[in-house]
Amino acid sequence: MVDVGRDEQVVVARLASQMLAGLPGTSVEGVVGRLLAVQAQDGRGARLSVRSRSTGLKVADVDRALSYDRSLIVSWLNRGTLHLVRTEDYWWLHQLTAPRLARGSETRLRQLGVAPAQSARGVDIIIKTLAEAGAQTREQLRHLLQRLGVPTDGQVIVHLLVVATATGAVVRGPMAGADQAFVSVAHWIGTAPRALDSDEALARLARRYLAGHAPAGAADLAKWAGLPLGDAHKGLAAIANEVGPFDPLLHGWASRGPFVGKHANVVTVNGIFRPVALVGGRVVATWGLPGGRVTVSPLEPLPAFFRDVFEWPHVDAHGGWLIFRLPPAELGIHPTGDGAGPAAGPRTATRSCT
């Protein structure tokens, strides 16, 4: 395995690959294409991933690409979770990573008490309905299946949709209010292009993965894509003469150490990442949007990082307040609620125009 260098070098290089340093993107398709696949089981999180790597883009730009331009779709790809991808990348990524997902969901349906014949019927109904009736939300499909006697309780509907998606006939396409509707692949994005052979697909995967994640090795690629390690080695070997010394940041590598450092608890036991803030390329806080207001919960004395790392002009207003002068505005980092609070307690960021 190729040595990917010291932690600091890795952080700097990966932030550049991830478009979190250097020139920001100017199109939704450009950002998503650079990353290849953006984890999207949380729609807001996927949109924030695009926003943090771009300039001038808004939620409406992502929604337009999904609903009108049809340049982006969402599907179960890679390691078994929903991903936002460019439509042109969907075909070969689906071919490479989706088949194994169907086997897992078919097994889970049997464990949930759904007979194979019931599952097959449910999948057929989903595919036929989308082809004939057009876009449908998950709840619309659930109600239809229930009326026709197909079990949908709990996670059953999700696994039926995964199996239907794995056939290559179904993806998530346009927005329907706050939901994203499922659509027929053939009706929404047309006929599939020529299928890549396995070696060609693995080489393309390795090349595109490194564009948005380098420096990285085979273990990183295998974990990110949900493929066997041998396939990752094969893909990287195929492009070895292209990549020189190297074989949305937290989901992309076998080890997250260079980014999370001592704050491994930002990842929950079931693999869910809390929203994090980076300073100098490292996790220093988590954040939230209760009531639409940004609240920062430092994992270490955060005001000092803003003061010492960014070297912004500031005033220490006491009581835990630091006021940073960022014309034409000011940014206040202060304790959440009343009182000063501990140095590493919850903080709120308040912006005001000067």
DSSP 220-252: HHHHHHT--HHHHHHHHHHTTTTSTT-----SS
Record the tokens describing residue 234, joined without a space.
Answer: 């094969």
Are the C-beta atoms of residues 270 and 320 closer than 8 Å to each other? no
- Same domain for 1 and 59, yes or no, is yes
- Determine the Cα–Cα distance for residues 265 and 242; give it in Å rounded to an integer: 37
Residue range(s) defining the domain that contains residue 323: 264-353
- Same domain for 191 and 252, yes or no, is yes
Q: pLDDT, tens digit, for every residue of 325-352?
A: 656 666 666 666 554 444 545 556 565 6
How many domains are there within the chain? 2
Per the domain annotation, does 118 fall within a domain? no
- Same domain for 247 and 314, yes or no, is no
Record the tokens describing residue 9, joined without a space.
Answer: 């070098």
pLDDT confidence bin for 319, thresholds 50/70/90: low
Q: Assess whether pLDDT exceeds 50 at residue 150.
A: yes
- Determine the Cα–Cα distance for residues 353 and 326; give it in Å rounded to an integer: 9
Q: pLDDT, tens digit, for every residue of 96-137?
A: 998 888 888 999 999 999 999 999 999 999 999 999 999 999
- Same domain for 243 and 345, yes or no, is no
- Same domain for 178 and 310, yes or no, is no
Please state which of the ranges 156-170, 174-188, 265-279, 315-329 shows the lowest mean pLDDT. Answer: 265-279
- Same domain for 218 and 338, yes or no, is no
Per the domain annotation, does 133 fall within a domain? no
